[in-house]
Structure formats: C-alpha cells, structure tokens
Structure 1
Amino acid sequence: LVRDLAAQLGDQPDAALAALNRQPHLCTRRRAGRPLPRGRSLLREDGEWQWWSDPHEVLSGPVADGLCAVQDRTQGHPVEIARPRPLELVLDLCAAPGGKALALADVGCRVIAADLMASRLATMRAQLPGRLVANDGRTPALAEGAFDLVLVDAPCSNTGVLARRPEARWRYDDQHLASLADLQRELLASAARLVAHDGRMVYATCSVSPRENQAIAHSLPGWRLLGERSTWPDEWQAGGYAALLVRA
C-alpha cells in the first residue's frame, strides 16, 4: 500500500500517511430548498456543506428533520463534476447507501438507483420511493442508450476511507487490486452501453490509488476524459476520485 502511494505522499510522507487514518468531521449537505441547518456543534460551512463536532446533535436534529443529508464532501464531487440538469434521466449504477442519488434527485433529475443487493437499497426507500432497482451492474436489465447521465461509484480498495474501513489495508495486495480492476472495467463498459449518444458518464471511487482511478478512467475505449478530481483525505473530507467521460 505504501509503495503504491509513495508518488502521492509529497515532501511530508508521515503527515500524508497519518491523514489516511484520520476520521473526518461529520459532513452534511443541505437539501435543496431547505433552510440552512443550525446547531451548537456546527464547525464550518461552505455553500451547501456543513461540518459538525457532535454527530448525535446533527443526526437527531437537522438530519432527522430533513434539512440536510449526511454525505462526505468528497462524495459530492461525482455529482458536481457531472453538472446534472433538471429532468435529465440519470442512472446511479452502484447507488447504495444513496447519498449521490439523493443529491441528483434534489437537483431535479429523474433518478434510477440500482445496486446489486436489494437489502442495501432498502435503506434508500424512504428517500427515493419507486426508483430502486436490484440489479447486477455488469449485466443490467436496463435499456441501452436511455440515460443522459450514468454514475458508476465502483467497488474499490477503500484506501481513501481507511479511517472508516481499517480492515481494508489488510486486503490491499496485487491480487486483490487486479480483481477489483477487472470488476471496475466491467462496470464501466456496461455503464457505457446505457448512456445516450450525447450523454455522459461519471466514474468514481473512494480510493486514492491511481491503479483504480486514472488507470481505469483513462483507458475506456471510445470515450474521452472531460475532467477529473482526486482528493487526499484530511480532517474535513475522505479521499476519493471522480472522472467525467463522454464519447470520443
């Protein structure tokens, strides 16, 4: 893991590695059209985003009241880079737990949220009723060329969220990454068939490994990169990657 990340560690490698183990402050996204959430533990605000020191206060208050949704700031990047427009038909192919699908719905998109496990979709039912599909993203039973935007938040090594998934570091090896890369390429190729001719696709992970990010997004035949965003974890956000792709 350290070997693969060495090129990204900069001139302060100890601090960069320590950041991988740091749990960011709880972050929320204000729901569209709702008042700005307020509370004693509010640490910081940036547009529609808020950070909190007391999870209990925000979960039992503004989140329970529907003013905001829990979402890491980095997990907002895939939606932002896509620039979704109201009434667009959007597929979130690996949707659970649903933060990005909800953000797309808040913009006014017509969202279909799909995931392999129906049990994972169950937690999203209250927010996105009637828009959930239990589906294997590698062989989706969905109309080809139907979607203005397809989002693929692919399974990955979780190296950008090691503070929340500490066990992921022990799974990180060449064999595991090769298996993940095969799955990521399958999902991206499958998603590409579902995108309308003039549509676009977003590929995202919660990894900081170029082997799962740039190496996958930059190599899809027939598609070109319009933009990408890589994030290293710190006290305000987890690590991750998002890339916007269109047909070449």
Structure 2
Amino acid sequence: MWSVIVKKKNVWKQKTSSAAPEIDSESIPLPQSFRSARELAFFLLEEYRLNNQFISDSIQRWERRIDLSSKDRRLAMEISIGVIRRQLTLDTLIESQLTRPREKVEAPLWTLLQTGVYQLVILDQIPVHAAVSETVDLAGKLNRVRWKKMVNAILRSIDRLLNEDLATTPQASAIPLSTDRYRSFNTDLFDDPEANPAGYLSRAFSFPRTLISDWLTHFGWEQTLQIAQWFNQRNKLYLRANVLKTSRDDLLEEFQEAGIQASPGKEPQSIKLDEIVPLESLVGLESGKFTIQDESAIAAGNLLNPQPEEIVLDLCAAPGTKTTLLAELMYDRGTIIATDVSEDRLDKIEQNASRLGLTSIQTQLIHPHETTLPEGPFDAILVDAPCSNSGVLGKRPEARWRINDEAIKELTEIQRNLLQLALDHLKPEGRLVYSTCSFDSRENEELLQSVLRDYPDRKIIQENRHLPGDPSDGGYQGLVQ
C-alpha cells in the first residue's frame, strides 16, 4: 500500500527524498548521538511535530546516531508512539495544572511535558521518581535549565491527583489504560461519559472529536468504546505461515517446542501469538517460514485467490506483504507484477520476496499521476489503495490526527482513479479485489459501488468488512468479477 507521509492539501503522500529534514530554529539542535531512551523519544516527537515525520522513518534515518541497548530503544519507541497516540489525553492533564495559557508555553517544552506525563500516568510500571527526575534531568541535558522548575511542578502536581484505585468502567475521573482497566484520579478531568459521550471518549481515549462523533453515529456507544480501546492497547500479533516452506500446524509445533504460546487464527494460514515476544526470538523468521501480517490483510489475498500460471497485477504493492501472499497462493507459479511509486519501495518488495524464496514477482515503477499501467490484461488484480488508515490507528497513531472530511474527499479521488485504471486492465472473465485498511464506508463500499456504475458488466461478488478488534485490525475488501 502507498504510505502517507508528506502533508499536501491534508493528504499525506509518499516522499521521494531520503534526506533528513532540518529541525527549525525554534527547536533544540539534534545531537550527534542519543544518550538515553528519553532523549531519543523527545527528538522523535520534535521531528514529528515540526516536520510531520512518521516515527519509524525518523528512526531509520537516525540509525547511525542511536547507540542504545535494545531495551532503551523499545522504551524510546513506547514513549514517542504513546505520546502521539494519547496526546489529547496528555494535553488535558497538563492544561488542568497550568497557571498560564497554553500558547505561552514553548512548543518543545510542551513536548517534554508530554513525555513526562505519559511515563507518569500511562506507563504505570515506571516508578514515579524515575518518571519525574529523568524528565527534569533531560531539560538540563537539552540546555534548557529554566524549564526544570516548571517540569517538576507540573509532574508533581499530576502525581498528587493520582490515587491507587483502578476502575473498570468509563468515568470522568479515570484514564483508560487497557480494556476494563482505568487509572483513577481524585478529581474529574473529563466530561461525564453518560452526559457527553463524544466529549468523554475524545479526550479520555485521545481521538479527534469529529472522528468519535462519526463512530458513535454509525456504531453506537458500546462498539465505539471497543474500537477506541482496541486502538489504544497493545494487541496480539498475527503471522502468516508460508505454505511453500511449512504448514501452519508444523509452524505451531515449532513455536510450542520453543516455548512460544500461539494458536490458529481464522484465516487458513494465520497464527495468533498469545503472548508478546521479541520478533528476533521467533523461530523461522529469517528462513522465510512466515510473515508478520494481520488477519484482515490476509483476507484480501485469500479473497482474490490467484491461481497457478495466472498473470496478476498488484497495485500500490509495497512493502510486499500482500504481494508475497499472492505468490504463495499461486505456489510461486505464474507472474505477479508489483507496482509502486519509488525505487526504495520496490526494493522492500524484492527483499521480502527473497526472504520467502519467491521468484514469480516482478517489480515495476509507476508514477503517482500516471494514467498508464503495465499492459495486461490481467487474470486477477489487487487494488490495495492508499487510504485514511482508519482501521489501523493503533499501529499508525499519527494517522488518527490526519483524518478529516477534506482528506477523505481527496483520498477517494485517488482511490477512484486507481480502481478505474485497474478495471480497464482486467480480463473480461478476470477478478479484482479492492482493498483498504479503512472501515469508513466512503472509502469502501460507497466508492466501489459508485465506480461500478460505469462498468455495468462488473458486479460485486463478495465483501469483507472488518471492524477493529473483531478479531484484528479494521479494513475492507470487495471482490469484483
């Protein structure tokens, strides 16, 4: 799928430059090397704030500057991604203790406060003294000694609001940590969930108010609460067994022998990890026995069901997770042409194919505004369209702050063009799957039905609608013949 990185008219599109952007003059100079997890987290968040950069992209560009243990790297990622995910909740807490207007607080200082409050309140396994002292010390290491007093005062004040009680239901005085587990305060910080459900869910769970209101309209209170909880907690990881190298049963047996708890998923190749384990400890990853892939994504390839010797087109294919599934379903016999908009993204497809031992995939560069595709016609086409990412807001927390009506409108124009191009290159008897990782009907069934009005010989044969948490990420697939 095309990633969304650079903001342009509220739609984030793939960046072609790999150069690290400069942090502007209001910020603190980037260090030559990162000395702690909290320092790295701070600069990752500043890069996000100033340049709209995904955390994962900044980590990749700064790799040579990072000299931290794997434990510290994980903590830096937890803090930085967590702050982006829960920023509206954190802002509510900080604002409740301010003695000055927020606009009078320097933006980098606000970032530092967010990192401290996240450790203090959300990461409740970190001792209070560590969350406070490490954040205060970081202000000095950033050469902002004058920040220390305010950072210490705000964090201590918030700590005094906390109590030892854990609630199990939404309350105006509690912050959700995970399903049915809420951290309690001595005072109300949010709207009453019964009197103002949208206001409560927006600030307590940290989502744009318009997004929450839309979910409440379409799904009601209970389902919206489950969706919000799903996106804010760490969820079970799914794998896809490479049936060309092993079977799901054999892979499950290998995991069991290695002491890794796992169970079969709903899709025939999927495995659910029943515990959180480091990826490097998973047997068979490097040898290509499996791929990390969510069940809702596996369903897209299974719905297309490509056959051996067919000629298949995969649009917007990087990083190649769905592409390689198509090749496995075809027993690596036939041809898959995988297209994307940059050489770097095509390289990722080739790397994935090589690890899995697949040879039927051919990559081809296309340009974002081109109206031409490989000639075809094709037996089967997967249109894995760029979308709002509304179904994967847990994995892509930056996306939750970028969804609005204007962005959806511009995305549906891109989706429409891609779908029309694909249909024009499909054999009369061919099959097409239109897929997104969104559960917004405007990007999915409404768009597909609208496009097919111009193709009276084509019909929707089957639709898969995946709501977040039921049982995995959200998404949509429509099969057209």
- What TM-score do you get using the length of structure 1 for normalisation? 0.90
* Aligned equivalent of 1:44: 263
Find the counterpart in structure 2 of residue 122 from structure 1.
Answer: 347
Distance 1:244 1:58 in 2: 36
Letter matched to residue 4 of structure 1: D
Match of 1:203 in 2: 434
Counterparts of residues 92-241 of structure 1 (less than 5 Å): 92-108=314-330, 109-126=334-351, 127=353, 131-136=362-367, 138-144=370-376, 146-220=377-451, 221-222=454-455, 223-234=458-469, 236-241=471-476
Query: Shift of residue 11 of structure 1?
Result: 5.2
SS at match of 1:62: coil
Which amino acid letter does the alignment assign opposite residue 234 of structure 1?
G
1:181 and 1:212 in contact (8 A); partners too: yes
SS at match of 1:20: helix
Please state whether the residue corresponding to 1:28 is helix, strand or coil. Answer: strand
The partner residue of 2:478 within 240, 243, 246 is: 243
Kindly state the Cα deviation for residue 210 of structure 1 after the two structures are TM-superposed: 0.7
Q: Answer yes or no: is 1:34 the counterpart of 2:255.
A: no
Residue by residue, what CA displacement relative to the aligned partner does 1:111-138 show, whole Å, maximum 9, x if unpaired? Answer: 1111112211111213156611111365
Moved more, 90-99 or 37-46: 37-46
Question: Aligned residue for 1:70?
Answer: 292
Cα distance change, pair 17–57 in 1 and its aligned pair in 2 (3 A) = closer
Instruction: Decide whether aligned partners of structure 1 residues 182 and 154 sit closer, same or farther in structure 2, where only a CA change above 3 A counts.
Output: same
How far residue 237 of structure 1 moved from its aligned partner, in angstroms, is 1.6
How many residue pairs end up in the alignment?
A: 245
- CA separation in 2, counterparts of 1:134 and 1:17? 37
Q: For residues 9-28 of structure 1, what are the structure 2 equivalents within 5 Å?
A: 9-10=219-220, 12=222, 13-28=224-239
Instruction: Give the whole-Å Cα distance in 2 for the aligned partners of 1:119 and 1:19.
Output: 32
Alpha-carbon deviation of 1:24?
3.0
Give, in angstroms, the shift of residue 226 of structure 1: 0.7
Q: Deviations over 1:147-203 (max 9, x none)?
A: 001110100010110011111111111111100010000110111111111111110
Give how far 1:231 is off: 0.5
1:195 and 1:232 mapped to 2: Cα distance? 29
Runs (4+) off by over 6 Å: none
Could you tell me which runs of 5 or more consecutive residues in structure 1 were left unpaired when the two chains were aligned: none
Shift of 1:58: 6.0
Indicate if the aligned counterparts of 2:239 and 2:291 stay in contact, CA closer than 8 A: yes
CA contact (8 A) 1:230 1:242 kept: yes
Contact 2:439 2:467 in 1 (8 A): yes
- Which of 44-53 and 65-74 deviates more? 44-53
In structure 1, what is the equivalent of residue 215 of structure 2? Answer: 5
After the TM superposition, which of the residue ranges 146-155 and 29-38 deviates more from structure 2? 29-38
Output the CA distance in 1 between the equivalents of 2:219 and 2:233: 15
Which has the larger share of strand?
Answer: 1
Shift in Å, 1:59: 6.2
Task: Give the alignment's Cα RMSD to 1 decimal.
Answer: 2.0
In 2: Cα distance, 1:121 partner to 1:49 partner: 25
- Residue 139 of structure 1: CA displacement? 2.2
Secondary structure of the residue aligned to 1:17 is helix
Closer, same or farther in 2 for the Cα pair 1:230/1:89, shift >3 Å?
same
Describe the shift of the 1:123–1:65 C-alpha distance in structure 2 as closer, same or farther (beyond 3 A).
same
Whether the 8 Å CA contact 2:305–2:329 is kept in 1: the answer is no
> How far apart are the structure 1 equivalents of 2:217 and 2:459?
25
What one-letter code is carried by the residue in structure 2 that aligns with 1:120? Answer: R
Q: Tell me, what secondary structure is at the counterpart of 2:459? A: strand
Correspondences of 1:79-98 after superposition (within 5 Å): 79-98=301-320
SS of 2:298's equivalent in the other structure is helix
Extract unaligned runs of 5+ from structure 2.
1-210
TM-score (norm 2): 0.48
Higher mean alpha-carbon deviation, 208-217 vs 53-62, is at: 53-62
Q: Cα offset for 1:207?
A: 0.5
The 1:190/1:16 distance shift into structure 2, 3 A limit, reads same
Determine the C-alpha separation between the residues in 2 that align with 1:202 and 1:218: 13
